[in-house]
Amino acid sequence: MPRVPGLASEVTLVNHPSRETDGAWRGAQIVHAAWSDGARWHVRAIGDIAAGASVEIDQARLPGDCPADVLPVLFLSPMKRDGEHTRLPALDHMETVPAWRANIRLRSATTAVSYQGEYPSGMAAIGGSLLSIAPLIQTGGGITTSLLFVNVRAQPAIDAHELRIVSAATRRVVQRAVIRSNRCTMVALGAADDSERLRIVACDDMTGIPIYFSHDDGFTQMSLEHSHPPVEMVAFGARGAINRSMKAAWSAAIAS
Partner 1 sequence: MSALLQSLRPLYDTPLGDRVRAWTGVKPPINVRPRAADATVSDLFPWRVDAAWQTCFELLNVPSLLYPEERPRDRAALVLFGADGRTLSTHEFELAPFEARRVEIEPLLAGVTGIGALACFHASPCLRALARDGSHLSERGYIGFRRRGDRLWSYVHGNLHVLARAPGDGEITHVGTTARRDWLYRPQVRFDDARAFDLVYANPVDRPLTLSLRFIGSAGGDAGRKEIDLPTRGTVVVSHSNADGGIIASVESRARCTLWRPIVFKHYQSHFDVFHG
- Which residues form the interface with partner 1 (CB under 8 A)? 12, 14, 16, 18-20, 52-54, 56, 97-98, 100-103, 105, 110-116, 133-136, 138, 141-143, 168-169, 194, 197-198, 212, 214-216, 220-228, 230, 232-239, 241-242, 246, 249-250, 252-253
Which residue(s) pair with 85 in the sheet?
Answer: 41
d(CA 173, CA 201): 10
Residue 13 CB, nearest approach to partner 1 (Å):
9
- According to DSSP, the β-strands at 199-203 and 209-215 are unpaired
Closest CA to 160 of 175, 135, 177, 143: 177
- Cα-Cα-Cα-Cα dihedral of 174, 178, 184, 186, to 10°? -40
Residue 118 CB, nearest approach to partner 1 (Å):
9
Closest to partner 1 by CB, 41 vs 219, is: 219
Residue 196 CB, nearest approach to partner 1 (Å):
9
d(CA 74, CA 45): 10
Closest to partner 1 by CB, 54 vs 59, is: 54
Closest to partner 1 by CB, 115 vs 186, is: 115
Residue 135 CB, nearest approach to partner 1 (Å):
4
- According to DSSP, the β-strands at 8-14 and 184-189 are unpaired
Closest to partner 1 by CB, 59 vs 220, is: 220
Residue 179 CB, nearest approach to partner 1 (Å):
22
**DSSP letter assigned to residue 190:** P
